[in-house]
Amino acid sequence: MKKLAVINDLSGVGRSSLSIQLPVVSTLSVTACPVPTAILSSHTAFKEVAKVDFKDHLSGFFDAWNKNGFSFDGILIGYLGDTEEHPLIEDFIREQKKRNPELTVILDPVMADNGSLYRHMTQKHIEAMLSLAKYADLLTPNLTEAALLADFDYEGMKETLKDCKLDAAKGMVFNSLLSALHHITPGAVIVTGIEEENEAGEKMLLNVLSETDGDLRFIRNPRTGNGRPGTGDLFSAIISAKLLKGTDHEKACRSAADFVGLAIKHSEELNVPVIEGVQFEDLLRHLLDSD
C-alpha cells in the first residue's frame, strides 16, 4: 500500500487540515502518516482559539522516522504555523528523495483566502513558502495564495478575470500568473476554487491546471454553495492519494473537485454552519465510485 506523510495542523473543531485529510486518504486506500505542525482547539476562523506550536518537535519526528528507515511515496504539506518549520520540511524532503527518487511532493501553500492572509500569517510565511515550493511536484494555491506567491495584485486580477468573457482571454491572464508560478516551482500547478459565472449566469468553480510543459486545462464544476473552511484540505488530500495510485493530474483534479462540490451541497442542504466546514463523513463512499 502506498504511504503518504501528511504534514498539517491538527484542529479539534471545524473539519480542517488533518481532521479531514486522514479519513479521506484512508478511504482511498493509501496509508496516511500524520505530522502535526501545530495543535489547535479549532481552525482559526473561530473567535477563541488555543494554539500549541509543534515546531520544536518536528525535527525530532523527522529524525526518528529517518533513523527507523521509513520511506514514503508521497509527502503532502498544508498549514505551517511557524516559518521555522519550512526548512525542517525541506531537509526531510531531501532525505526522503534520496530513499525514493519517485517521491511525490504536494504543497498546498495554506496562507490566505479571499484576498487576505489568515490570522497569524505574515510576509515571512510567504517567503518561507517560496523556498519550500522549490521542492514541489504539485502546487495547489487558491487565487489569493497564487497572487501572493507570484507577487501579483489579487484584486486587479480578480476584476480582470471577471471582465474576460472568453476562455482565450482568461487563458492570457492565467498564462502570465502561471508562468510566474512555474519560476518558483519545478512542479505542476493547480490554481484552485476560482469563482465565476458561465454564459447562462450559473455560478461555477474553476480550477486551472498547468502542467510542467505549460499545457493549460480549465476544469469547471457547478458552484454548489459558499466556500467553507477545510475544502482546500479536502481537495489536496484527494488529489494526493489519487496521484500516488497512478491517476493523472487532470483526473485527480476532477475527482477532488467533484467530491468537494458534493460535500458543499450536502452541507448546505443540511444547514451545517459554514464555520463547521463540510459534512463529509457520510459521503466517503462516493470517493470509491471515482476510484
Q: Which residues bind ligand PXL (CB under 6 A)?
A: 9, 11, 16-17, 40, 43-45, 79, 110, 118, 229-230, 232-233
Closest contact distance (angstroms) between CB of 236 and ligand PXL is 10
In contact, 46 and 274? CB cutoff 8 Å? no
Closest contact distance (angstroms) between CB of 14 and ligand PXL is 8
Closest contact distance (angstroms) between CB of 279 and ligand PXL is 15
Name, in order, each residue with C-beta under 8 angstroms of 158's C-beta and a sequence gap of 6 or more.
Answer: 115, 143
Name, in order, each residue with C-beta under 8 angstroms of 176's C-beta and a sequence gap of 6 or more.
Answer: none
Name, in order, each residue with C-beta under 8 angstroms of 155's C-beta and a sequence gap of 6 or more.
Answer: 115
Sheet with 216-222, strands from edge to edge, namely: 51-53, 31-42, 3-13, 74-77, 104-107, 138-139, 188-197, 203-210, 216-222
Q: Report how far residue 117's alpha carbon sits from residue 123's, in angstroms, rounded to the nearest whole number.
A: 9
Query: Between residues 98 and 124, which has the closer beta carbon with respect to ligand PXL?
Result: 124
Closest contact distance (angstroms) between CB of 61 and ligand PXL is 18
**What's the angle, vertex CA 18, arms to CA 107 and CA 52, rounded to 5?**
100
What are residue 177's DSSP bridge partners?
none
**What's the angle, vertex CA 245, arms to CA 13 and CA 32, rounded to 5?**
35
Query: Between residues 17 and 210, which has the closer beta carbon with respect to ligand PXL?
Result: 17
Q: Supply 39's cell numbers.
A: 495543535
Closest contact distance (angstroms) between CB of 219 and ligand PXL is 21
Query: Between residues 57 and 94, which has the closer beta carbon with respect to ligand PXL?
Result: 57
Query: Between residues 22 and 45, which has the closer beta carbon with respect to ligand PXL?
Result: 45
Closest-CB residue for ligand PXL? 44
Query: Between residues 50 and 270, which has the closer beta carbon with respect to ligand PXL?
Result: 50
Closest contact distance (angstroms) between CB of 12 and ligand PXL is 10
Closest contact distance (angstroms) between CB of 131 and ligand PXL is 20
Furthest-apart CA atoms within the chain: distance in Å = 58
Query: Between residues 70 and 118, which has the closer beta carbon with respect to ligand PXL?
Result: 118
Q: Supply 148's cell numbers.
A: 501572493
Query: Between residues 103 and 132, which has the closer beta carbon with respect to ligand PXL?
Result: 132
